[in-house]
Chains A and B, each alone.
Chain A
């Protein structure tokens, strides 16, 4: 379990993926490549993403859970894929705001 709050950053322990929480608070079972994510800068990488959890995480994409209560942004790409409570997170729809500056 890790504690989510906007701005909190986590890293995968089995690939190069790093994320920042955009939306959502509270304890969560956040995994990448099948292994629990840890606070950014605190963990060593070892092993490989588990089978079935190796579709990859794309740089700059937002990922959310089915209820859209939690959203994270991938700040570094990696081979493992993100899941919350064992359920894969999916790429959230791109923003369609026009450029204003």
Chain B
């Protein structure tokens, strides 16, 4: 069975704009390494490897969202909840780099674009939402669901921005933005269900491995909610 290519291919966004985003991605990832090292202890490091492997696996599972249109998890929100924002962005990037270099998925020229959208924008949006929502709800699953939807839509609009700057075809930007946003709301709901199930499961069996439970909750002496 054919698994389709899932990320931005070469040629859709021109070379100069792709190069600018590649430089941006490298700089941002270097910053993530610096910040992430503070989080990476002997418990988080293997968890981060597992999260990357899990995201790789789940990205292969395209689910139908409309007739003739599918989608797959991007993983930013899931990674933020389990390993934190900095290491989370590095996890998603690891997956994208492996997919690009070994599986010919996502153009090599487009790697910076794909990392910017899915690993950086998607994770950043997921992080802001998770931190905010966990102050309101106690429920990790509901937080994962809502944050995933927003994170996936934000990542999809990252592509729209890149296309606006360096698109190689002259198509209506508002049509592309609308199509991308609409489809990615649906994909985000699918991602959210997967992310919610995953984090709820990990929180039940090994709550000590869930970064969000250790770090994002207000440090008041509250009981652990399910």
Tell whether A pairs with B: no
